[in-house]
A = this chain, B = another copy of it.
Amino acid sequence: MSKEGKADSSVSWQSIRDTMMARIRAQDYAPGELIPNEVDLAAEFGCARATVNRALRDLATSGFLDRRRKAGTRVREAPRRKATLAIPLTRADVIASGARYEYRLLERKLDTPPPLVREHLKLSGSERLLRVQSLHLADDVPHMFEDRWIVLDTVPDIEDVDLTETSANEWLVRQAPYTHGTMEFFAETAGARGQHLVCAPDDPVMTMIRVTWLEAAPITLVQQSYSPSHRMRLDL
């Protein structure tokens, strides 16, 4: 044990985090309550203030504490625990599942997008976009059907890419980093996509629509529909 007020470099931030977490769990600090300030905690634990700071930052990142400059640090009423969902490189995901990955370009053409796609991409004119439809397979079984619109004004280089070899997904993830975007997930019937996903038109499939941006310029809108048996898994 260190003497109070004397910083003990043997105290790890992890041990402080664990102690603070135990107190939050036990409601020694109640939900919504202000916890002691870093200086007082450093004195209590006999460590540097930076060590306490590191521990509290970790608990804030994990969603248990709400840290506000000046207003202090409070225990969150409802912890905002987060799951992370990376933009998938479909190839990497399929391979990670232990299956053999195959990609098939179904169609590639310049086309005028329907109003809903224009609206999502905030396009006012009627410019033509590159439309790419493709199928991604796992062990020869259809895994995901992709219908993508690419804004050539934003990523002109993709016009010269051979998309029979490299998927647009892969090329864009590597070559056209986005600044922000949105994703929507929902259930719908397979409809005509059942022909590619080898299921009945009435079968329920999970569809994701993702729109990405480079600052104010739209990059791409992609609609991916997964095979009916697909489950999207996330760790908390």
Q: Which residues of B contact A178 (CB under 8 A)?
A: 81, 236
Instruction: Give 1 or 0 for each of A49-78: 1 = CB within 8 Å of chain B CB.
Output: 000000000000001100000000000011
Interface residues of A in 74-104 (CB under 8 A from B): 77-87, 89, 92
CA distance A82 to B177 in the complex (A): 13
Q: Which residues of B contact A235 (CB under 8 A)?
A: 180-183
Could you tell me if A174 and B228 are in contact, using CB atoms closer than 8 angstroms? Answer: no
Instruction: Give 1 or 0 for each of A175-196: 1 = CB within 8 Å of chain B CB.
Output: 0011011111111110000000
CA distance A78 to B170 in the complex (A): 8
Could you tell me if A233 and B187 are in contact, using CB atoms closer than 8 angstroms? Answer: no
Could you tell me if A78 and B92 are in contact, using CB atoms closer than 8 angstroms? Answer: yes
Q: Which residues of B contact A182 (CB under 8 A)?
A: 233-236
Could you tell me if A205 and B204 are in contact, using CB atoms closer than 8 angstroms? Answer: yes
Chain A: residues with CB nearer than 8 A to chain B? 24-25, 31, 63-64, 77-87, 89, 92, 170, 173-174, 177-178, 180-189, 202, 204-206, 210, 212, 226, 228, 230-236
Q: Which residues of B contact A78 (CB under 8 A)?
A: 89, 92, 170, 173-174
Could you tell me if A183 and B83 are in contact, using CB atoms closer than 8 angstroms? Answer: yes
Q: Which residues of B contact A187 (CB under 8 A)?
A: 187-188, 204-206, 226, 228
Known: A78-B92, A188-B204. 6 other contacts (CB 8 A): A81-B86, A187-B204, A187-B205, A204-B204, A206-B206, A212-B236
Q: What is the distance, in angstroms, from A85's C-beta to the closest C-beta of chain B?
A: 4
CA distance A186 to B178 in the complex (A): 27
Could you tell me if A81 and B87 are in contact, using CB atoms closer than 8 angstroms? Answer: yes
